[in-house]
Structure 1
Amino acid sequence: MAKLPSDADLSKLFILGATDLELAKKYGVSVQAVNLRRGNLKMGVWSRGSAVSRVNNMVSEIWDVQSHSGAGSHHVTSKNQSLRLYLRMKLKDSLSERQLRTAQLFEARLRREQAVLDYSPDDGFMYVPRVPADERLIVRWPEAMSRPEGEQLELWSLPEE
């Protein structure tokens, strides 16, 4: 039977930004099992590590971003990192001045170019022209997925001007 690591090891992995999906795959357990352990560890959204984890989970829920090392890996691209910093900013996470500036520039580019960020396993992250169906979303939402609601929708949306 698959088993998650100790609470101390699991906490370290969460703080380092490991997503529930990544840990579930690594340890052969369900995402729900990882999420339950996270809750038991009281890893709420207010710590830096948990904000990083929450953002990583949010992105993993809509895209299976290639994160292997070497050529073809999309997880280290500037567009992906800008998206994640922007989401952390919206979660009111503590960011360095440089990280905050990157997040602000990401939002400014989306507004200036009337664009959204899209992802393709073949092509990686790319800015694409905003269409009416995008509404205020910052990403091109996958057609096969239902749109987020409430707080989740606000996190994935540009603020009203």
Structure 2
Amino acid sequence: MPVKSGLTDYQMTKLYHAGVTDAQIAEMYGISVSAVGARRRRLNLPRKRIAQQVNEALISRWGVIPDKSHHIEHTAKALKTYLRMRLGDSSVSASQRRTTDSWVERLKKRDVVVCYDPERVGGWYYRPRVASDERRVADWPASIPFPSVEFKRALDLPED
């Protein structure tokens, strides 16, 4: 008998497009990874390697991936989409690109970087850019290694 997880097709699709991995969705809803994968395939949502790479990198930065309410915050979605775009994910929609481009322009105009604190309401916030941020869109301390050279480049703001 199937488990009633509360995960709707709409929620599954929304989380998928936010870059949440099958394993993270499974944990959020208390179901198996294979059940999430089966649902994703039934909805014709292909596995997203770049989105997984982005999520794993953000996990390495903040220690844990934000819970499901923090996952869908605008800032989290914009950051993930920006990184997916910079890493060459061709599945990012035109609408996602426009929204993310506007977000990047606001970051540049306000001269801020993205930060995450699980204790804050919403989790995500912005702080003024400091010299050690260089051109990155997100706070990334020197004590935490970058997952790859490509990912480090992806975190940079685009050239003007």
Per the shorter chain, which TM-score range?
A: 0.5 to 0.7
Amino acid at match of 1:121: P
1:147 positional shift: 4.8
d(CA) in 2 for partners of 1:150, 1:53: 17
d(CA) in 1 for partners of 2:99, 2:77: 9
d(CA) in 2 for partners of 1:144, 1:121: 20
TM-score of the superposed pair, with normalisation by structure 1: 0.64
1:159 positional shift: 2.3
d(CA) in 2 for partners of 1:18, 1:85: 11
TM-score of the superposed pair, with normalisation by structure 2: 0.65
Unaligned runs of 5+ in 2: 1-15, 29-45
1:59 positional shift: 1.4
Amino acid at match of 1:116: V
Provide the secondary structure at the position in 1 that maps to 2:151.
Answer: helix
- Does 2:113 match 1:116? yes
Match of 1:82 in 2: 78
Amino acid at match of 1:102: T
Instruction: Give deviations 1:71-124, integer Å, cap 9, x for gaps.
Output: xx3111000001011111112222212101111112111101001000001110
Provide the secondary structure at the position in 1 that maps to 2:70.
Answer: coil
Aligned with residue 102 of structure 2, among 85, 98, 105: 105
Unaligned runs of 5+ in 1: 1-15, 27-46
Instruction: Give deviations 1:7-63, integer Å, cap 9, x for gaps.
Output: xxxxxxxxx55549749x89xxxxxxxxxxxxxxxxxxxx76112211111211111
Structure 1 stretches of 4+ moved >3 Å: 16-23, 146-149
Match of 2:128 in 1: 129
Number of matched pairs: 124
